[in-house]
């Protein structure tokens, strides 16, 4: 299971998702609080649950290597969940009066890319098995 390239992509997606707990997505000041505030996955409950869901989905998806269709569907679900998570982060950044996106905000783009590349690898495996099953 680990020798397949999509397992590496899914592991990368999970690592980037869980890195969101440590590194900020956005740094700035809020209207009522002049102190510098960092927005990361532990800032709100919705962000925390969505981040755990994306990271957990990527980890669980690694071990579903015998069920390629389910694995492919879960990759698509992971992409949709990550898009929702990015929307939640964007919605939270509108509560700031001023600030900047952190460099580690790129992690969320890497997660989407890793899910896409994993889905591509799963699709290649499916095609390879279909070709090897046909009779000559």
Q: What would the pLDDT profile of 113-122 be if each residue is shown by its tens digit?
A: 999 999 999 8
Question: Is residue 2 scored above 80 in pLDDT?
Answer: no
Confidence tier at 67 by pLDDT (50, 70, 90): confident
> DSSP letter string over 42-68?
TSSHHHHHHHHHHHHHHHHHHT-TT-H
Confidence tier at 95 by pLDDT (50, 70, 90): confident
- Residue 35's pLDDT is 79
Confidence tier at 106 by pLDDT (50, 70, 90): very high
Residue 60 φ then ψ, to 5°: -65, -35
Q: Determine the Cα–Cα distance for residues 88 and 86; give it in Å rounded to an integer.
A: 5
pTM summary value: 0.87
């Amino acid at each position: 299971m680990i020798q397949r390239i999509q397992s590496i992509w899914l592991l990368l997606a999970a690592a980037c998702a869980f890195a969101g707990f440590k590194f900020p997505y956005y740094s700035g000041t809020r209207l009522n609080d002049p102190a510098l505030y960092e927005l990361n996955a532990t800032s709100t409950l919705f962000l925390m649950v969505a981040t755990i869901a994306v990271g957990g989905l990527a980890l669980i998806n690694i071990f579903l290597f015998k069920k390629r269709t389910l694995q492919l569907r879960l990759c698509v679900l992971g992409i949709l969940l990550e898009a929702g998570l990015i929307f939640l982060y964007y919605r939270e950044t509108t509560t700031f009066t001023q600030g900047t996106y952190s460099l580690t905000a790129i992690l969320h783009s890497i997660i989407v890319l890793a899910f896409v590349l994993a889905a591509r690898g799963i699709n290649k495996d499916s095609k390879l098995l279909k070709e090897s099953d046909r009779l000559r």
